[in-house]
């Protein structure tokens, strides 16, 4: 058992299902305080967070992540108990192994190793940890960032421990994410008897051509870092359940995953234009879940690529694919942000697992990134 695996075991044994932390953050803060960090618990509503910092000068390099995990589902479906971590045939098994208690353990041990070797390092190192990433994400990282911004405490570079890798640890680094814009559309009709359609107005029939236009619309071309913007309908609901009643309302839930080639406001305007063209009577509620961000080549991306090459001997791919992460709250402050973590093939699944040796490799990557950026 290496130091990283020992810490991963301790964290994974805690039932920290969103928004519960179950003592994970206190364990991390104890380790960080011993390494010379000032630790600041920050609780908002029911969510535990903490900010820890070592040093006062710039640049400030931050490790960000979450201690909460998604529910396990029926534990009887797991090969091993999800909160009793163990190594089986070289694989670390249990909830949070990949997403993302394994990364948290690697971060802490990497920083401990770095500080022991470079006690007088340049700049500052910080941790921004939440227990609300897998949930609504309203009282976690976003609130900590607001607190930091209010006191003008700026993160220069941020490594998020989300599981970014595909086939082997470090083969993919996420240097950006697409934006997420959600909508709930309610098309209003007139309920009536199906035998007398002239006395009713069917919102399903009226909306169908408009929805087809939205699905077939070419929103943008994407660019070198982002695929073209995607519009997807995730749910349609209408009707009373009776076969002889024309419904009075249709509800459509949809989402845009969008590139930096278009803004959320532009997508809203174009959507309304299409709906209005079809003469619909409707209400539309929008939710911006996150804006797109991109960290191009610079100190952080270059250090990550070099560290992975030195530790593993292969080149890493830069990618903006996948869903949202808490990086969307940190990037708008002007910070360089990238995501580097273990393989993501089992995240949120039954029997979540990672190669045990990958966490030690990840520890070495994190430590080498710090050396490239802050070694005195």
Question: 171: helix, coil or strand?
Answer: coil
Bond preceding residue 120 cis, omega within 30 of 0: no
d(CA 230, CA 232): 6
Two structure tokens written together for 65:
């992540």
Q: Do 101 and 4 form a contact (C-beta atoms < 8 A)?
A: no
Which residue(s) pair with 255 in the sheet?
182, 232
Q: Are 298 and 306 in contact (CB under 8 A)?
A: no
Which of 132, 133, 134, 367 is flagged as catalytic?
A: 133
Angle subtended at Cα 113 by Cα 370 and Cα 296, rounded to the nearest 5 degrees: 15
d(CA 20, CA 48): 8
Residue in 182, 190, 193, 194 with CA at minimum distance from that of residue 250: 190
Distance in angstroms (rounded) separating the CA atoms of residues 186 and 282: 5
Does 133 qualify as catalytic in the annotation? Answer: yes
Q: Map tokens 């990958």 to a residue.
A: 358
> Is the bond preceding 348 in cis, omega lying within 30 degrees of 0?
no
| 3-class secondary structure, 329 | helix
Active site residue 68: yes
Closest CA to 256 of 283, 281, 223, 291: 291
Please pick, among 68, 112, 326, 360, the residue that the annotation labels catalytic.
Answer: 68
Q: Taking a C-beta distance cutoff of 8 angstroms, is the pair 354, 4 a contact? A: no
Distance CA 369, CA 361 (A): 12
Q: For residue 316, how many other CB atoms are within 10 A of its CB?
A: 23
Task: Specify whether the CB–CB gap between 319 and 142 falls below 8 A.
Answer: no
The strand pairing partners of 88, in sequence order, are 91
Give yes or no for a contact between 93 and 77, defined as CB atoms under 8 angstroms apart. no
Please identify every residue annotated as catalytic. 68, 133
């Amino acid at each position: 058992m290496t130091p990283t695996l020992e810490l991963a075991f301790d964290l994974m044994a805690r039932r920290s299902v969103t928004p519960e932390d179950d003592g994970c953050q206190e364990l991390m803060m104890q380790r960080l305080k011993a390494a010379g960090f000032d630790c600041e618990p920050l609780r908002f509503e029911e969510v535990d967070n903490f900010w820890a910092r070592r040093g006062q000068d710039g640049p400030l390099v931050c490790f960000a992540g979450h201690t909460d995990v998604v529910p396990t589902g029926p534990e009887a479906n797991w090969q091993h108990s999800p909160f009793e971590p163990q190594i089986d045939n070289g694989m670390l098994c249990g909830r949070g192994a990949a997403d993302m208690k394994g990364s948290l353990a690697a971060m802490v041990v990497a920083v401990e190793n770095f500080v022991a070797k470079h006690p007088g390092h340049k700049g500052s190192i910080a941790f921004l940890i939440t227990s609300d990433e897998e949930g609504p994400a309203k009282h976690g990282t976003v609130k900590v960032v607001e607190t930091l911004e209010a006191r003008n405490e700026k993160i220069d570079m941020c490594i998020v421990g989300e599981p970014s890798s595909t086939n082997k640890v470090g083969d993919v680094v996420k240097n950006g994410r697409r934006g997420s814009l959600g909508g709930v559309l309610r098309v209003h009709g007139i309920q009536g008897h199906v035998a007398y359609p002239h006395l009713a107005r069917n919102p399903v029939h009226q909306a169908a051509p408009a929805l087809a236009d939205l699905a077939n619309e070419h929103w943008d071309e994407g660019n070198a870092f982002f695929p073209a913007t995607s519009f997807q309908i995730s749910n349609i609901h209408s009707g009373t359940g009776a076969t002889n009643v024309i419904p009075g309302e249709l509800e459509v839930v949809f989402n845009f995953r969008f590139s930096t080639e278009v803004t959320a406001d532009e997508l809203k305007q174009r959507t309304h234009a299409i709906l209005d063209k079809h003469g619909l009577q409707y209400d539309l509620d929008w939710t911006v879940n996150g804006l797109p961000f991109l960290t191009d080549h610079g100190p952080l991306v270059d250090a990550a690529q070099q560290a992975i090459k030195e530790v593993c001997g292969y080149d890493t791919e830069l990618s903006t694919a996948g869903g949202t992460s808490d990086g969307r709250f940190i990037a708008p402050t002007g910070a360089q942000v990238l995501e580097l973590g273990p393989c993501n093939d089992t995240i949120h699944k039954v029997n979540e697992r990672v190669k045990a040796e990958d966490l030690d490799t990840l520890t070495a990557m994190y430590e080498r990134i710090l050396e490239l950026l802050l070694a005195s």
